Amino acid sequence: MRTLTGWAMVIAVAAAGCGSESGGAATADTGAADVTADADAATDSAPAACKKLVVKNLIRDPEFGKPGENYSALVGVPEPALGTGVADEFQIQLYEFTSKQAPGTFDLGAGKETNFSTCSHCVAVFEDMNAEGVAARYFFQESGTLVLTVNPTPTTGEVKGRLEKVKLVEVTIDYAGKTYKSTPVPGGACLEIEAFDIDTTAPADAGVDAAG
């Protein structure tokens, strides 16, 4: 399935004076300009805060995870909307590459979970996804925890568990080359999900949401 910041300018106007007084005033003004410029540069270089998300209407995607397949997928709606008004999609993809999925606690920021091409427990958000499944921007897990309490293998049906303190960063995904390798976008945006109870056995309108 694998789908110029502000620049401050300070103008010092020297008051009419004589000798050392005039020189002293100019030195003080220049120092103030330097301090202001340094403060502005520090502010400009500070990373933007990640957008907080909640997830609505999470369901098990009936198109994926059929008997005989090695993965299953959950899909939901991330809020608030991220892009231009075209539908966004939240996904949890669960793969069985070398072993069966089983209950447990999984670090989304460690080992094979750190790339979309190798993850067995994959959390992603697709911004402005069109009918062909192509998104304007892709977000993939950088850190966080997934707890599974019900075995989500394709033959067992629904999934229960919890996401905790998940951070997703903007990435590119190599769909064209079919490697599905994810690469973080330098200076890209990021998203955060503080906590999210997963239970696809509950009705979709029961409000299985993330608390952001």
pLDDT digits (tens, 9 = 90+) for 174-189: 999 999 999 999 999 9
Confidence band for 203, pLDDT divided at 50, 70 and 90: low
Q: What are the angstrom distances between the C-alpha of 176 and each of 40, 140, 181, 183?
A: 41, 18, 10, 14
Pair 103, 167: CB distance under 8 Å: no
Predicted pLDDT of residue 8 = 29
Taking 50 as the threshold, does the pLDDT of residue 23 lie above it? no
- What count of Cα atoms within 13 Å lies in the side-chain half-sphere of residue 183? 7
Taking 90 as the threshold, does the pLDDT of residue 10 lie above it? no
The DSSP-derived string for 175-212 is: TTTT---EEEPTT--EEEEEEEEEETTS-GGG---EE-
pTM over 0.85: no
Helices H, strands E: what count in the chain?
Answer: 1, 11
